């Protein structure tokens, strides 16, 4: 196979539409779209399902952060819409931007199918089209070891029409023995036939909540005990994912937790950390402001804000560090877990950093 650039994000709406129609006809409820690029494929599927009144939750992931930004903005050049019929364009687009009803069906996250753990198993369908074609055989094996356990028994793995899993590759990838080549509605797919999960394989799958249904639960009053419990559970799951480096998926969990309880400063703090990791400092700053509005005593937020402002507004940045130091010197500074370090270590580090800033600024 000729090596092709992995950065290729070429896609368009209704690419190889037959497979998308098959997924709609199967009434697949939970779909994972791996290597979703700018989201055209995920939105096309959402369109078909909504038109058929078939509710669907699509988790769409990609390793390319810029492509994900486009996906979330959901505004496309004409050429990507060339296969969208005029009636559909009128119904599902406002100008060149996808309407909210459709956007609400899809949740996008940063995820590397070769190195990251999978979202929880139980997907009815996993779409992975025109992605593995760029991988080495070893990378394909690793991707499959992540993808296959995430399918529910009976679930379908759908590749592009031109892609298939070669005999040699299947022989060398233990998880492939769980798959059977099948034909559904004129589309070739791989069906998970059995659940022979070993503990080791199971361990690759972290339980996360279903993401983004067409009707995400409305925000509940933060005082409701159920909302509190759900938010706690989602926060814990987010922390586990963050700990394992699955930043995009962790962000999902925190966003879901915030839907349950939007007055949790620690969730905004974690969300800000994820946004920083994902290279979206403006969003991180917004989240930190919300966090500090709700709890001005959360010193990690002051430190992060200080870092973010350091080159933009040095004076305010120093103010943030000073505020963090005051809180850390207090009788019982909050402890927000491993991601933010212990208060004692943070105090020393922030003092040192502030000193170096002041010395740096004092130097002509
Ligand atoms: C050609 S696009 C395919 C888009 C869409 N699936 C389609 O069929 O139209 C390939 C996508 O795979 C993504 N990709 C490449 N390596 C990846 C990885 N390790 N994990 C997740 N996505 C990856 C690329 O960023 C790119 O957006």
Over residues 105-123, the mean pLDDT reads: 88
Tell me the CA distances in angstroms from 243 to 40, 65, 284, one per residue in order: 31, 20, 19
Q: What is the pLDDT of residue 194?
A: 63
- For residue 62, report the distance from its CA to the centre of ligand 1, in Å: 6
Q: Please tell me the distance between residue 133's alpha carbon and the centre of ligand 1 in angstroms.
A: 9
**Band of the pLDDT at 40, cuts 50, 70, 90?**
very high
What are the pLDDT digits (tens) for 229-254? 788 888 888 888 777 777 777 888 88
User: Cβ(133) to ligand 1 under 6 A?
Assistant: no
Q: Using one digit for the tens of pLDDT, what is the confidence trace for 178-224?
A: 898 889 988 989 999 865 443 333 333 333 333 333 333 344 444 55
Quote the CA–CA distance of 78 and 346 in Å, as a whole number.
Answer: 50
User: Cα 47 from chain centroid?
Assistant: 21
Within 8 A by CB and 6+ apart from 10, the residues are 37, 130
- Report CA(155)–ligand 1 centroid distance (Å): 21
Burial environment of residue 71 by CB neighbours within 10 A (0 to 12, 13 to 18, 19 or more): buried
Is 324:308 a contact under the CB 8 Å cutoff?
A: no
- Residue 87 token pair: 């009636």
State whether the Cα torsion 289-336-223-231 is positive or negative. positive
37 touches ligand 1 (CB under 6 Å): yes
Ligand 1 pocket member 64 (CB < 6 A): yes
Check pLDDT > 90 for residue 282. no
Tens of pLDDT, residues 133-148: 889 999 999 999 999 9
Rounded to whole angstroms, the Cα distance separating 68 from 275 reads 13
Which is more confidently placed, 176 or 90?
90
pLDDT value of position 209: 33
Residue 333 and residue 327 in contact, taking contact as beta carbons nearer than 8 Å: yes
The Å distance, Cα 157 to ligand 1 centre, comes to 15
Q: Residue 83: pLDDT band by 50, 70, 90 thresholds? A: very high
Q: From CA 164, how far away is CA 183, in angstroms rounded?
A: 13
Q: 230 CB less than 6 Å from ligand 1? A: no
pLDDT given at position 129: 97
Residue 201 corresponds to which tokens in the numbers above? Answer: 């394989």
**Beta carbons within 8 Å of 21's beta carbon, 6+ residues apart:** 48, 185
Strands 151-158 and 57-62: unpaired
Average pLDDT in the chain: 84
At residue 177, φ and ψ (nearest 5 deg) are -70, -10
pLDDT of 338 > 50? The answer is: yes
Confidence class for position 102, pLDDT limits 50, 70, 90 = very high
In percent, the amount of the chain with pLDDT more than 90 equals 47
Mutation test of ligand 1: which of 62, 141, 143 has the most ligand atoms closer than 8 Å to its C-beta? 62
To test the pocket of ligand 1, the residue of 37, 114, 140 to mutate (highest count of ligand atoms within 8 Å of its CB) is 37
Lowest mean pLDDT among 174-183, 200-209, 283-292, 306-315: 200-209
136 lines ligand 1 (CB under 6 A): no
Beta carbons within 10 angstroms of residue 182's beta carbon? 12
pLDDT computed for residue 222 by the predictor: 46
End-to-end CA distance of the chain: 59
């Amino acid at each position: 196979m000729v090596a092709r650039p992995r950065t290729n994000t070429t896609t368009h709406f209704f690419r190889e539409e037959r497979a998308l129609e098959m997924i709609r006809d199967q009434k697949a409820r939970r779909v994972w779209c791996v290597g979703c690029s700018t989201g055209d494929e995920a939105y096309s599927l959402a369109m078909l399902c909504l038109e058929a009144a078939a509710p669907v939750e699509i988790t769409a992931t990609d390793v390319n952060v810029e492509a994900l930004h486009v996906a979330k903005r959901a505004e496309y050049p004409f050429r990507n819409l060339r296969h969208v019929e005029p009636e559909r364009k009128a119904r599902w687009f406002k100008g060149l931007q996808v309407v909210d009803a459709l956007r609400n069906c899809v949740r996008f996250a940063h995820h590397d199918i070769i190195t990251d753990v999978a979202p929880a198993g139980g997907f009815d369908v996993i779409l992975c089209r025109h992605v593995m074609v760029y991988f080495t055989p070893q990378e394909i094996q690793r991707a499959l070891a992540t993808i296959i356990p995430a399918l529910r028994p009976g679930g379908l793995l759908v590749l592009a029409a031109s892609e298939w899993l070669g005999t040699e590759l299947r022989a060398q990838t233990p998880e492939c023995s769980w798959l059977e080549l099948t034909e559904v509605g004129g589309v070739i797919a791989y069906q998970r036939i059995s659940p022979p999960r070993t503990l080791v394989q199971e361990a690759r799958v972290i339980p996360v909540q279903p993401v983004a249904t067409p009707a995400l639960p409305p925000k509940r009053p933060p005082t409701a005990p159920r909302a509190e419990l759900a938010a706690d559970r989602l926060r814990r799951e987010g922390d586990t994912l963050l700990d394992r480096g699955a930043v995009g998926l962790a962000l999902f969990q925190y966003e879901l937790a915030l839907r349950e309880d939007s007055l949790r400063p620690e969730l905004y703090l974690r969300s800000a950390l994820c946004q920083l990791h994902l290279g979206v400092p403006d969003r991180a700053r917004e989240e930190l402001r919300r966090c500090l509005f709700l709890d001005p005593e959360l010193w990690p937020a002051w430190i992060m804000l200080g870092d973010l402002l350091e080159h933009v507004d040095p004076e305010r940045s120093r103010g943030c560090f000073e505020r963090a130091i005051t809180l850390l010197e207090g009788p019982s500074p909050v402890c927000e877990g491993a991601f933010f370090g212990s208060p004692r270590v943070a105090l020393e580090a922030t003092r040192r950093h502030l000193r170096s800033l002041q010395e740096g600024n004092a130097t002509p």
